[in-house]
Structure 1
Amino acid sequence: MAMLTRGRVQNREQREEAYRIRTEVFVNEQGVSPDIEIDEHEEVATHVLVYYDGQPVGAGRVREVEGVAKLERICVLAPFRKHKAGAAIMAELEEVAKEWGLSKAKLHAQTHAAGFYGKLGYAVDSDEFMEDGIPHVRMIKKLG
């Protein structure tokens, strides 16, 4: 049976894997400009990777913004989206936030993914808005 594992990015090689996954999903698949995909927050954020049988298949990052955990750049390679990799990314990001002593998390969800985040306890708290040419909503969750 295939194994799903998760962990924090510890070195440049792992960071490059996260960037590779994000580029595949956001730039190649969704048409986000490569100029904005890697941004000025990379160095301050904590990055996570999810592995399927040892192969990196998903990534995300978290940073503290005004006392709230902001979860960002959450993505899973297309062939692995039915394997609970997204939920594993979210669990690791929330764990980081709790270790930082934060009690609330927020994210900008692509509208098509809002149902996924809803199942994980996130609630929409904004009108729809456009980000990088893609419709989004802001979602929040209290961290227990």
Structure 2
Amino acid sequence: MQTIIRNIWNEPIWSLLKTARNEVFVVEQGLDTCVVADDYDQTCTHIIYTHSEKVIASCRVRIENTIAFIERVSVLKEYRQQSLSKGILNEALTFIEKTNVQTVAIVAQSRLISMYEKYGFTPVDDHFMIFGASHIKMTKSINN
């Protein structure tokens, strides 16, 4: 397994990332296709695990002022139960701790609240619908 941590916009792996996101979010979960890619992808840092020349797990980190957003966390179904989401989140948090942000935010699918609570995230808003699924904003403070 290879780990990639950088902006991958306009690289060949960008197409592989979109394919993996489509598989997880659109095909498997039935979410809107707009979740596959948006304008933020051009400037985000992407954290990607690859295996056999395909993206098997990923997320992106978007920084705005003193807040870092962890977004689009996904693991291909056949690679779950291997702690890859744990690895991806730890990679993201390690990357963020090297910046000057004070808060990390994640807009989590409501069904995953307990997973993110294990990383110190707490819900800060009510549930809302986006991309066709219930989500909730969660945050945690970072001590750099």
| TM-score normalised per structure 2 | 0.86
Question: Aligned partners of 2:130, 2:7: CA distance in 1, in Å?
Answer: 29
Give the aligned partner of residue 3 of structure 2. Answer: 6
Structure-2 change in CA distance of 1:108 and 1:65 (3 Å): same
- Residues 6, 92 of structure 1: 8 Å contact kept: no
* Structure 1 residues 69 and 10, CA gap change in structure 2 (3 angstroms): closer
Distance 2:16 2:128 in 1: 29
User: For residues 39-58 of structure 1, what are the structure 2 equivalents within 5 Å?
Assistant: 39-51=38-50, 56-58=55-57
SS of residue in 1 equivalent to 2:41: coil
Return 56-65 or 95-104, whichever deviates more. Answer: 95-104
Q: Does 1:107 align with 2:98?
A: no
> What is the aligned partner in structure 1 of residue 61 from structure 2?
62
Contact 1:50 1:88 (8 Å CA) reproduced? no
Shift, 1:13, TM fit: 2.3
| Shift in CA distance, 5/87, structure 1 to aligned 2, threshold 3 Å | farther
Unaligned runs of 5+ residues in structure 2 are none
Partner residue in 1 for 2:92: 93
Q: Report % sequence identity.
A: 24
Distance 2:139 2:16 in 1: 28
Letter in 2 for 1:83: Q
Output one character per residue of 1:20-75: Cα deviation in whole Å (capped at 9) or x when no partner. 21111011112223245211111111111124587531011011124200111001
Deviation at 1:132, TM superposition (A): 1.2
Count residues in correspondence: 141
Please give the TM-score of this superposition, normalised by the length of structure 1: 0.86
Q: Which moved more, 1:133-142 or 1:27-36?
A: 27-36
5+ residue gaps, structure 1, are none
Matched-pair contact (CA < 8 Å) for 2:106–2:138: yes
Partner residue, 2:15: 16
Aligned-pair CA distance for 1:86: 0.4
The 1:114/1:52 distance shift into structure 2, 3 A limit, reads farther
SS at match of 2:26: helix
Structure 2: how far apart are the matches of 1:109 and 1:15?
23
- The one-letter code sitting in structure 1 at the alignment partner of 2:13 is Q
Residue 63 of structure 1: SS of its match in structure 2?
strand
**Aligned-partner residue type, residue 76 of structure 2:** L
Structure 1 CA distance, aligned partners of 2:98 and 2:14? 21
